[in-house]
């Protein structure tokens, strides 16, 4: 799973910041193109890359991690996987507990974590995650924020250790992005 994370982080930085910035991040992290994907220490590698990126881009690591989460859900294949959960943000949030099993379809061996969602009130949810590094809360927060935008909802999120609190200020803040189950229709709308 950690190799998948590191590859996603690499793709994010290359697409959003370019090859030159990616090379600088690897240099700052003390890594090179030939060894950053070695099987040993991939969890530490992801952390080193994020710390180096935060220094190099002069941005807090939490912001970068949240941006990575937002980038992930803008990828059409992932967006479709998430939108398939229902027609509202509440449907999406209540289905996040199924994420580990869904991930196993395209990334076998990634089900060593769990997500539990509790609905506190009509507009407040708490998401608990286990089996993932603490910094994943920021990535998940970015995913939730991105999907909130996709559904046209306005939310606030608070990330603390292994807990994300989600408050829906307005479920129908703006028009949601078009979505159909058929890929053919989806492409004709783009």
- Look at the block and give the residue holding tokens 């999120």: 157
Give me the pLDDT at residue 188, please: 47
Domain of residue 49, residue span: 2-59
The pLDDT tens digits for 33-64 are 766 665 555 667 888 899 999 999 999 999 99
User: Within a domain: residue 9?
Assistant: yes
Give me the pLDDT at residue 190, please: 47
The overall pTM is greater than 0.85: no
Low-confidence ranges of the chain (pLDDT < 70): 1-4, 34-43, 104-111, 172-190
User: Within a domain: residue 179?
Assistant: no
Give me the pLDDT at residue 179, please: 53
CATH number at residue 130: 3.90.1520.10
Q: Are 127 and 166 in contact (CB under 8 A)?
A: yes
In this structure, are 126 and 80 located in the same domain? yes
The pLDDT tens digits for 90-100 are 998 998 888 77
157: left (phi over 0), alpha (psi -120 to 50) or beta: beta
């Amino acid at each position: 799973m950690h190799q998948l994370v590191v590859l996603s982080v690499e793709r994010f930085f290359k697409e959003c910041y370019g090859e030159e910035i990616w090379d600088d991040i690897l240099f700052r992290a003390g890594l090179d193109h030939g060894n950053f994907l070695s099987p040993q220490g991939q969890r530490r590698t992801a952390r080193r890359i994020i710390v180096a990126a935060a220094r190099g881009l002069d941005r807090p690591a939490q912001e970068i991690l949240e941006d990575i989460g937002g980038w992930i859900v803008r990828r059409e294949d992932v967006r479709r996987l998430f939108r398939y959960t229902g027609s509202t943000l509440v449907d999406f949030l209540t289905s996040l507990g199924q994420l580990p099993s869904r991930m196993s379809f395209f990334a076998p061996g990634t089900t060593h974590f769990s997500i539990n969602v509790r609905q506190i009130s009509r507009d407040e949810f708490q998401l608990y995650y286990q089996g993932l590094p603490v910094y994943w809360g920021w990535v998940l927060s970015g995913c939730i924020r991105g999907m909130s935008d996709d559904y046209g909802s306005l939310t606030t999120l608070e990330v603390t250790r292994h807990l994300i609190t989600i408050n829906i200020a307005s479920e129908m803040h703006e028009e949601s992005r078009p979505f159909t189950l058929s890929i053919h229709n989806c492409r004709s709308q783009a």
